[in-house]
Amino acid sequence: MFLNGASVGFDTVRNKAVFIDQTLLPTEYKEVSTDDYNEIFDAIKNLKVRGAPQIGVFTAISLAVLMNNSTSDTYEKLMAELKDYCTKLVSCRPTAVNLKWSTEEMLKVAENSNAENFKENLTDKALKMIEDDVAICRKIGEYGAEILKNCNSVLTHCNAGRLATVKYGTALAPIYVAKENGNSIKVFADETRPLLQGARLTAFELCDANIDTTVICDNMASFVMKNALVDAVLVGCDRVALNGDTANKIGTSGVAILAKHYNIPFYVCMPFSTFDKNIKSGDDIVIEMREGSEIGEMWYEKTMIPQNAKTLNPAFDVTDHSLITAFITEKGVFTPDEIKKYI
Ligand code: MRU
């Protein structure tokens, strides 16, 4: 096993991008090592690698791996090849801004390189992004644990844990840090239809860390809140606009509306790489639309939807900033009004 507790990695000795095939969890844990463009594209597109920060870091590793294998012999050719890979990979998942951010970071490094140090500089940058992600998530965990000091139980949606980053996660990092500090917080995990990231992934990693975990169907969140079973909601994010509007996994905005109704604080855990300073509000966020088969067929032996029925499968929704109590970031905890001051 190469990863040793991390969720993605860069095997620089063999020049491979390494990931856990998350579509197989929770029944099978399989690490995949690759330097193949098609396998990399498929891994991102089909959520073998997923979660905004993880997609960003994995893309940087993949670009370094692909370029290390390049036979281009001039700076211009190397740059053209890198740009081509960036354009294709960015198209895989349009909502998660970390993907675009990561390609821009790698292109910046390439622009300041020459033919001789091009590959080495990209490798160094990808390794630095792995290191930074771990440190950033740890910080989010520390700030979040402080906020959760008096909480017994939280609700989360989708998976914003270690399986969505390199290590620790964003929304689950406070839970891990609180546990280290001797504060065991229980977690209610929404199953997160249609791809079940909450049931399959959040529950998998929390149980693996011996954290008290209860999986609920998405339509049970109101019951849990009404019966005072949770003290706070913690979620991750895929893109945050200047006004604090936040795109995250489909269903998040409904959870935020419920939390407001029951007067439960709703926190978004965000590395600044997920902040998109180029868009004013959530209206500018492109929502990834996915195949309807994920709703009616993916988890069933027989199709669950009559042939003539249509499906609609948006992968994300936008939570209005007015529903967000605060953002927990690597730079501190900020209200939606404050966030843009800290770019
Ligand atoms: O489609 P996914 O599984 O990549 O969606 C993931 C989420 O929505 C996460 O909540 C988000 O990326 C934050 S991960 C720290």
Provide the β-strand partners of residue 189.
156, 215
* pLDDT over threshold 90, residue 14: yes
* pLDDT over threshold 90, residue 284: yes
Chain-centroid distance of CA 68 in Å reads: 26
Residue 342 has what pLDDT?
83
* pLDDT over threshold 80, residue 298: yes
Q: Which of 25, 50, 205, 298 to mutate to test the pocket of ligand 1 (most atoms within 8 A of CB)?
A: 50
* pTM summary value: 0.97
**pLDDT, tens digit, 9 for 90 and up, residues 123-171:** 999 999 999 999 999 999 999 999 999 999 999 999 999 999 999 999 9
283 included as an active-site residue: no
CB atoms within 10 A of CB 216: 17
47 lines ligand 1 (CB under 6 A): yes
Task: Name the residue among 120, 114, 105 with its Cα closest to residue 67.
Answer: 120
Using CA atoms, how far residue 304 sits from 299, 300, 313, in Å, is 10, 7, 15
**pLDDT, tens digit, 9 for 90 and up, residues 35-50:** 999 999 999 999 999 9
Q: How confident is the model at residue 1 (pLDDT cuts 50, 70, 90)?
A: confident
* pLDDT over threshold 80, residue 343: no
**pLDDT, tens digit, 9 for 90 and up, residues 161-206:** 999 999 999 999 999 999 999 999 999 999 999 999 999 999 999 9
Q: Over pLDDT 90: what percentage of the chain? A: 99
174 lines ligand 1 (CB under 6 A): no
Q: How confident is the model at residue 64 (pLDDT cuts 50, 70, 90)?
A: very high
Using CA atoms, how far residue 262 sits from 198, 236, 244, 257, 265, in Å, is 22, 20, 21, 9, 9
- What residue type is 281 in one-letter code? S
Cα angle, residue 29 at apex, residues 161 and 126 outer, rounded to 5°: 55
Residue 80 has what pLDDT?
98
DSSP 8-state class, residue 199 = I
Q: Which of 58, 133, 159 to mutate to test the pocket of ligand 1 (most atoms within 8 A of CB)?
A: 159
The pair phi, psi for residue 198, each rounded to 5°, is: -70, -50
Task: Name the residue among 13, 302, 255, 10 with its Cα closest to residue 131.
Answer: 10
**pLDDT, tens digit, 9 for 90 and up, residues 97-111:** 999 999 999 999 999
Residue 278 has what pLDDT?
95
Residue 166 has what pLDDT?
98
Residue 50 has what pLDDT?
98
Domains of the chain with bracketed CATH? 8-134 (1.20.120.420), 147-342 (3.40.50.10470)
What is the CA(131)–ligand 1 centre distance, in A?
20
Residue 154 has what pLDDT?
98
DSSP 301-322: SS--S-TT-----BSEEEE-GG
Provide the β-strand partners of residue 34.
17
Residue 340 has what pLDDT?
85
Q: For atom 2 of ligand 1, which residue has the closest CA?
A: 51
- The four Cα atoms 340, 139, 250, 266 give a dihedral, to 10 degrees, of -70
Atom of ligand 1 nearest to the CA of 269: 15
Provide the β-strand partners of residue 31.
20
197 lines ligand 1 (CB under 6 A): yes
* pLDDT over threshold 80, residue 29: yes
Q: How confident is the model at residue 224 (pLDDT cuts 50, 70, 90)?
A: very high
What is the CA(167)–ligand 1 centre distance, in A?
14
**pLDDT, tens digit, 9 for 90 and up, residues 245-260:** 999 999 999 999 999 9
The pair phi, psi for residue 94, each rounded to 5°, is: -70, -20
202 lines ligand 1 (CB under 6 A): no
252 lines ligand 1 (CB under 6 A): no
Give first-to-last CA distance, the chain, whole Å: 37
140 lines ligand 1 (CB under 6 A): no
Q: Over pLDDT 70: what percentage of the chain? A: 100
Token pair for 245: 């509007």
The mean pLDDT of the chain is: 97
